[in-house]
Every structure is written in C-alpha cells, then in structure tokens.
Structure 1
Amino acid sequence: MEQAGGKTVFGASVGILMLNTRFPRIPGDIGNATTWPFPVQYNRVDAATPQNVVRGEATDLLGPFVDAGRELVALGCDGIATNCGFLAPFQTEMAAALGVPVAASSLLQAGLVQQTLPADRRLGILTISAETLGAAHLAAAGIPAGTPVVGTGAGSHFTEAILSDAARIDFAQARADNVAAARRLVADHPDVGAILLECTNMVPYAADIRAATGRPVFSIYTHLLWFQAALAPRRFGDRIDDTRLPDGQAP
C-alpha cells in the first residue's frame, strides 16, 4: 500500500503552541506529553510568558504565535492548539493565517457545553485570573456577558506559582486552590450546571473539581480529544470491504 508524503513528521496530528515557561508540568497538564492518548508535537513561542499573556496585553504576540504555528504545520501537524485560554482572541486570525483547524482556547467549547444543559442551568468558568479575563476574551469565544466567572485568586499558590513561572509547585496546594475556587463558583451561582476550565494547568484537578461540585467539568483536555478525533478519525475494523452500508450497497 502506497502512502502520500509531503511531511517531515507523521502521526502527530495536533501541534501545541506553548508559552515560554519553566514551571513543572504533571500528567494532565497540556505541556506534559504523557497527558495525551495520541502523539502531539510542541513548539515554544519565546516571546510569550504567563505574565504578558494573562496579566498583560497579548495583542503584539499574534505574529509570533502565527510564525510558530506555521513551523508546526510545515513539520506535519494537521491542527494547531495553544496552551492558554486567554488566547481566545487569536482564534480567527490564527485559523486564517495557518490554513488548518485551530483550537486557540478551551473557552471555545462554551456554546456547545451550554447547549447540553437544561434550560434552567448555565455554564460557569473557572479561570486563573478573574481580574484580567475580560469581555474581549469571552466575546471571542462567543460567551455571553453575565456568565459566571470565578478565579483561583490572585493570592493563591496556584495562581502565583503559574503566573510567576515558579521553579517549584506544591501540587497538593494547587489542587486545594482549584477545588476551593470551584466550590465558590457553585456556591455563589447555584444554577451553574457545568464548569469550564479556562486554564490548561487546571486539568490535573478536573476529577477533584467534579467530585467536589457534582458538576461535569470541561477543559482543554476534553476540547483536544474532540479536536484530534476529527483530524485522525478512528478506523473501525480491519477490512472496510467486509462492511455494508445501510442500503445494502458495498462502500
């Protein structure tokens, strides 16, 4: 069987653009390759840091993200993601520039998640920085104004360790910070029926958040599982000619 070439790397359909960081990343984090049940390819955007993306003005970083994305596409990636939910405003321009599907932020799932909920329930967002997750970020993801947004807190270990790019993280405390914030979210907004994690570093605590709140939890992990499943659909069965279409015709 022949296969077409044209790429340098095969089998890693998802390329992930990373901020320039040094903090440790445990399984579940987008930047830990063991998180993914499929191969991924990484590229770092040197000019992007947690501080200037989350607490600063990221507009000037669009060019570096596009350039790094083009390197991944040229290498062989069929779709591009980023590792920060605050990059939702880059979605449209990155997709246009790269010419492949782009998943710039976990926040892009919001509309679909809302549609899964009963009419009297709404989506709530857990973020690393409620102080700086503004209207432009939400609007870029199609999230309506008034959607509950709760942060892990500017003084929390989780927030400060990530945004200061700490060399060490107390992951037990980070878990406690995330669970406490999730509990505040549902206590302050009892009508929240599902929680969406803005921050890609929150994924290791998703199961704990689910257990503590009883709400389903969506994240960059759920988003990229869906994303990759379309880029590299699973083949069912070894011989497609052994199957029959519903009308009885062979495929």
Structure 2
Amino acid sequence: MIAKGGKSIYGASVGILMLDAQFPRIPGDMGNAQTWSFPVLYRIVRNASPDLVVRQRAEGLLDAFIDAARDLVKDGVDGITTNCGFLSLFQEELADAVSVPVATSSLMQVEMVNRVLPAGKHAGVLTISASTLSKEHLRKARVPEGTPIGTTEGGLEFTSAILDNKLTLDVDQARSDNVKAALALQSDNPDLGAIVLECTNMCPYAPDIQKATGLPVFSIVSFINWFHAGLAPPKYL
C-alpha cells in the first residue's frame, strides 16, 4: 500500500465554522466535540458573536467566514458547515469560495423533510429568534414559502442565554422553553408532520421535543451526520 499526502490533518472530514461565544455548550450542542461520533475540525470566526450573527444579519462578517472556511480546507477537511442556522445567508458565497461541499444551515433540510412526510403533512421550523429570521434567510436555505415558524423567544432562559452570550445556562429551563415552543408550533399547525430545529444549540433537546410532540425532529446533528456519511462513507467490504 502507498499512502498519499496532500493534507495537513487527516481523518476529520467535516470542518465547522464556529461563532465567537462563551455560553455553555452541553453534549448534543454542535460546538461540543463529544456530540460527534467522528472527528471534526473547528475554526472560530473571531468577533462573530451570537447577537451579531442572529440579530444583526452577520453584518460585515462574510470575508471572515470565507477566510476561515478556506483555512479549514487547507487543513484537510472535505466539507464545511457552520454552527448557526442564520448563516444560510452565506450559503452561496461560501460554496463559491471553497472547493468542497458546504452545508451552512439546518434549515436546508426542510425541503427534503417535506418530501418524506405523508400527504397533507408539512415540516415546521423552530428557531431561536423568529423576529430576525427573515424571508431571505429562508429563501437562501430553500425553505418553502408558508412554512410555519415557532420560536423560543419569550421563554425564560434559552434564547437570552444563547444570544446574550451568558456564562451560565439553566438546562432544565432551556429544555422547557424548547418543548413549550414546539408544542405551541404543533398546536397552531394541525398539519405539522415534523420539526426542523434551526438553532444548533437546540439539538440537546431534540429527544424531549420528539417525546412531547410525537413528531420526527431534525437538527443540525441529523443533517451533518448525513453530510459526513457522504464525505466519508463507511466501509463494509
């Protein structure tokens, strides 16, 4: 066997562009390396705070994200993702800037999830900030028009802890915020057939949401597990 080179780092196919944040990242959160069953490479985009990205449309940050994505490719990753669903705004620009596949946002799953649901059922989105999730965010991720949106805004813990970048997180209250928001989304939409979690920090609560609603729940973790399976297919023979 002849081993081939060309990369600085091997065995980590997925590169994750991280916001510059300090809030707790519990297991299940995209930014907790224990979440993944395969190695990943992280790159922090400095000054890309949760507030700036989610509430202020990542204004002025595109070049920094492109530079970080290119660095990850140079380091050896085979695909790029990000740890904020609102970065769907940069999907086209990042994909044009690098030579590997790019999956910026969990929102990109909505169209696919709709295709697997029974007739008359549709996916809905649960977001950390419905007030700033614009039509452009959704269009860039190819979320169909009319997709129902639920949110944890107005909850006691989750949205404020993440977007205000707090150093503590009441996990039980954050779980409650997510479950209540999901149940409200379901109550308002009788044809809801599945929930797609926009926010990458919602993933730890996906089992709780599924149990409470009885619906399939898709997240950035489900998306990137699928993404990774294409970048590095398991070998059986």
TM-score by shorter chain over 0.5: yes
- Residue of structure 2 in register with 1:212 after alignment: 212
CA positional deviation for 1:154 = 3.9
- Residue of structure 1 in register with 2:180 after alignment: 180
Distance 2:78 2:128 in 1: 29
CA positional deviation for 1:156 = 2.9
TM-score by length of 2: 0.98
Q: How does 1:39-118 map to 2 (within 5 A)?
A: 39-118=39-118
CA positional deviation for 1:121 = 0.6
Distance 1:68 1:84 in 2: 15
TM-score by length of 1: 0.93
- Residue of structure 1 in register with 2:148 after alignment: 148
Name the SS of the counterpart of 1:3 in structure 2: coil
Q: How does 1:232-247 map to 2 (within 5 A)?
A: 232-237=232-237
Unpaired runs of at least 5, structure 1:
238-251
- Residue of structure 2 in register with 1:195 after alignment: 195
Unpaired runs of at least 5, structure 2:
none
Q: Which amino acid aligns with 1:192?
A: L
- Contact (CA 8 Å) 1:80, 1:100: kept in 2 or not? yes
Alignment: residue pair count: 237
Q: CA RMSD in A?
A: 0.9
- Contact (CA 8 Å) 1:129, 1:154: kept in 2 or not? no
CA positional deviation for 1:155 = 4.7
Q: Which amino acid aligns with 2:165?
A: D
Question: Are 2:31 and 1:31 equivalent residues in the alignment?
Answer: yes
Distance 1:2 1:203 in 2: 41
Distance 2:80 2:123 in 1: 25
- Residue of structure 1 in register with 2:128 after alignment: 128
Which deviations, in whole Å up to 9, do the C-alpha atoms of 1:26-74 show, x marking residues without a partner?
A: 1100000000000000000002110011111324211100100111110
Distance 1:24 1:100 in 2: 30
Name the SS of the counterpart of 1:60 in structure 2: coil
Q: Which amino acid aligns with 1:146?
A: G
- Contact (CA 8 Å) 2:157, 2:173: kept in 1 or not? yes
- Contact (CA 8 Å) 1:47, 1:64: kept in 2 or not? no
Name the SS of the counterpart of 1:110 in structure 2: helix
Which deviations, in whole Å up to 9, do the C-alpha atoms of 1:72-119 show, x marking residues without a partner?
A: 110111101000000112111101101110010000111110000122
CA positional deviation for 1:141 = 1.0
Same amino acid, percent of matched pairs: 57
- Contact (CA 8 Å) 1:210, 1:216: kept in 2 or not? yes
- Contact (CA 8 Å) 2:52, 2:59: kept in 1 or not? no
Q: Which amino acid aligns with 2:122?
A: R
**Which one has the largest radius of gyration?**
1
- Contact (CA 8 Å) 1:79, 1:101: kept in 2 or not? yes
Question: Are 2:9 and 1:12 equivalent residues in the alignment?
Answer: no
Distance 2:227 2:143 in 1: 20
Q: How does 1:159-178 map to 2 (within 5 A)?
A: 159-178=159-178
Distance 1:111 1:44 in 2: 29
Query: Which runs of 4 or more aligned residues in structure 1 lie more than 3 Å from their structure 2 counterparts after TM superposition?
Result: none
Name the SS of the counterpart of 2:61 in structure 1: helix
Q: Which amino acid aligns with 2:99?
A: G
Name the SS of the counterpart of 2:113 in structure 1: helix
Q: Which amino acid aligns with 1:52?
A: L
